[in-house]
Amino acid sequence: MIIMDPNILFKKMYHFYGDQDWWPGEGFEIAIGAILTQNTSWSNVEKALENLRKYDLLNPKAILQSKDDFLKEQIKPSGFFNKKSKYLKNLSKLWIANSNPTRKELLAVKGIGEETADSILLYLLNSPEFVIDTYTIRISERIGLGSFHSKSKWKEFFEKNIEKNVSIYNKFHALFVIHAKTLCKKNNPLCISCFLKEDCLFGKMREDSI
């Protein structure tokens, strides 16, 4: 059951927050950021990217040639650096062989899951793949857009209901992130101040219980 048309949701969020200018960075740096941001905040990723920039390590060849310990040291601020250094090397290897990989090829790389693959495809390769993250699911469930048991089902839902358009998908994902961080917070959503409270199942429930 669709309570609110996701296209209306997009328009309301865009009207409220405006353009978010995502993704920060350009070229292969976007793919590096998509891996480094796994399980950490973007501020930590920025520190790691700054280190990589300092040593000219924002390209696949340089990453592949870098010594493991040196690479780990540079990406340490983003956490899980042992794993992430391997993931960066795995992706670099693929990229050198094929800098325009398909979703299937990306998902075959160890360390690249659906969210990372779709971020790379959307923001770096301009392919209309809807990025589903925990923010998107949290907000969509609270509003009552639907109820699905997996990220891939949510992806199907958005791609079926929203025009396949890189610019819209790009903006929509960024809007989910900013809304989750400012109003629709995990533990304490600020429903009273939320511009979506009239459209939101969770927001209405909270209002009724006051």
Least Å from the CB of residue 102 to ligand SF4 = 34
Task: List interacting residues with ligand SF4 (CB under 6 A).
Answer: 139, 142-143, 183-184, 189-191, 194, 196-197, 200, 202-203
CA 96 to chain centroid, in Å, comes to 24
**Residue among 169 and 202 whose Cβ is closer to ligand SF4:** 202
Least Å from the CB of residue 170 to ligand SF4 = 21
Least Å from the CB of residue 161 to ligand SF4 = 18
DSSP, collapsed to helix, strand or coil, labels residue 31 as helix
3-state helix, strand and coil shares in percent for the chain, rounded to the nearest 5: 65, 0, 35
Least Å from the CB of residue 130 to ligand SF4 = 19
Tell me the residue number closest to ligand SF4, measured at CB.
203
Least Å from the CB of residue 186 to ligand SF4 = 10
**Residue among 29 and 141 whose Cβ is closer to ligand SF4:** 141
CA 34 to chain centroid, in Å, comes to 7
State the Cα–Cα distance between residues 173 and 122, nearest whole angstrom.
10
**Residue among 93 and 197 whose Cβ is closer to ligand SF4:** 197
* 173-199 residues labelled b (16+ CB within 10 A) or e (exposed): bbbbbbbbeebbeeeebebeebebbeb
**Residue among 2 and 190 whose Cβ is closer to ligand SF4:** 190
Terminal-to-terminal C-alpha distance of the chain: 26
**Residue among 109 and 196 whose Cβ is closer to ligand SF4:** 196
Tokens for 208? 């009724």
